[in-house]
Amino acid sequence: MDDRNVFGGELEPCGTDPLTGFYRDGCCTTGPQDSGSHTICAVVTAEFLEHQRRIGNDLITPAPRHGFPGLVPGDRWCVTAANWLRAHRDGAAAYVVMASTHARALEIVPLEALAEHAVDVPRRRRTFRGLKSRRRTGAVAAQPPPRTDGFSIASLKPSTLA
């Protein structure tokens, strides 16, 4: 599969500070070696990071020998589709950058679940036409849901938005 995003367009970079991606190329590209499907470009929150720690996926503690700097709220990071879905179901999902989320994520996570937390949802719903999804119900949120952990999009570091 080409590196396409969930909209069917070219996969956009997720983040370079810190450098993310299974292949540490700044994108949520995937391939046969990526058994975890690191395909969702997440803007992590304190709530999401704590959830991941609780389920045994510590994204906070640096692991330099693996090229992992440790994350802080506001960082953009390619996370596994299964762990993001678990956080979604547990009410702790991170925000999602849809244009930087690989289309292969849709094999695990319904499009509507991603769209509920999207920070780059297009204004026109027709952008979603033709995309395969497990469910076709529910409205696409134009704004991310309100957070209870004190995080706001306005507080993001400028380098994470580039």
- Sketch out the chain's domains with CATH numbers: 1-137 (3.30.56.110)
The whole-number average pLDDT for the span 100-115 is 97
Euclidean distance between CA atoms 79 and 81, whole angstroms: 6
The whole-number average pLDDT for the span 33-45 is 96
Predicted confidence at residue 86, as pLDDT, reads 98
Euclidean distance between CA atoms 22 and 42, whole angstroms: 13
Predicted confidence at residue 85, as pLDDT, reads 98
Instruction: Find how far residue 104's CA is from the centre of its chain.
Output: 12
Euclidean distance between CA atoms 156 and 152, whole angstroms: 7
Reduce the DSSP state of residue 41 to 3 states and report it. Answer: strand
